[in-house]
Amino acid sequence: MNHDLIETEKCEIGECPCIIDGEIWGPNDIIDDECRYCKCEMGQLYCVPKNNTEPWTPDCDHTCYCAYDTGEKICVNTTRECTVTAEDCNNDTHVAKEDPHDACCMICEPRMKPCEKQVVETKVLNFTDSTYGLCVSPPLEVSNCVGSCGFSESGGSHFEWRRPNEDLPLFDLDYYSNCECCQAQLAANQVQFRCDANDAYVTISVTQIASCSCMQCT
């Protein structure tokens, strides 16, 4: 006599996983991202949308958004278009820095050169004298001071004082300034001028910029 054997097993539905689009989520697993909060309970994935309707860029190569129909987070590859790249900067005159308004792009800023003497032109000076006639100098350098002396700072702290015969005080500012400017050191040079009246030379004092340095601003 044949007997059919039947095996039964009690299924606890609370332990069932959630299978969504082929992806398996374990019991009580949680999805919490920019788009929704979901939890796997009794084999079902229960979700609460966060109503995020604006796309965002988590990094320079991706753009993410919340799907309108399912509410899930979707990220796609994107190529950021920047007007300036590091290769565009002339390293001799500029330096590439991160754009403060867009961390994925660069900006090109001029390099701050230190304070230095710079020759602008050469110039011949002359004057006319009743005895010596027209007197002419050799070519002389005309210079200026250009460049940076670093950051400046100023400020102060309050202090209390009273005018004579007044009951109420005043609060003044003990002010300080830490500011250096690119300034010139001048020198009076003795220059030989050739005069055409008797083909003689006369010595004339000519003030020129000898050097440049950072000094306290006045």
Give tens-digit pLDDT for 41-98.
Answer: 888 888 899 988 899 988 888 899 999 888 889 999 887 788 887 777 877 778 888 8
Report whether pLDDT(4) > 80.
no
Instruction: Please choose, from the candidates 153, 144, 132, 151, the residue with its C-alpha nearest in 3D space to the C-alpha of residue 203.
Output: 132
Query: What pLDDT score does 110 carry?
Result: 79
Report whether pLDDT(184) > 60.
yes
DSSP for 85-122 reads -GGGS-TTTEEEEEETTEEEEEEEEE--PBPEEEEEEE
Report whether pLDDT(179) > 80.
yes
The CA angle 134-138-139, to the nearest 5 degrees, is 120
Query: What pLDDT score does 173 carry?
Result: 87
Share of the chain above pLDDT 70, in %: 94
Average pLDDT over residues 107-126: 89
Query: What pLDDT score does 11 carry?
Result: 59
Domain ranges in the chain? 14-77, 116-155+175-216
Report whether pLDDT(3) > 70.
no
> What is the residue type of 159?
F
Q: Give me the count of residues in the chain.
A: 218
What's the per-residue H, E or C state across the chain?
A: CCCCCCCCCCCCHHHCCEEECCEEECCCCEEECCCEEEEEECCEEEEEECCCCCCEEEECCEEEEECCCCCCEEEEECCCCCCCCHHHCCCCCEEEEEECCEEEEEEEEECCCECEEEEEEEECCEEEECCCEEEECCCEEEEEEECECCCCEEEEEEEEECCCCCCCCEEEEEEEEECEEEEEEEEEEEEEEEECCCCEEEEEEEEEEEEEEEEECC
Strand partners, 176: 155
Give tens-digit pLDDT for 186-199.
Answer: 999 999 999 998 88
Q: Per CATH, is 116-155+175-216 categorized as 2.30.30?
A: no
What are the helix and strand counts (H, E) for the chain? 0, 18
Q: What are phi and psi of 14, to 5 degrees?
A: -65, -20
User: Which residue bears the tokens 């008797």?
Assistant: 198
CA atoms within 13 A on the CB side of 201: 7
Query: What pLDDT score does 14 carry?
Result: 53
- Higher pLDDT among residues 206 and 14, named by residue: 206
Pull the structure tokens for residue 164.
């004579």
Strand partners, 66: 73
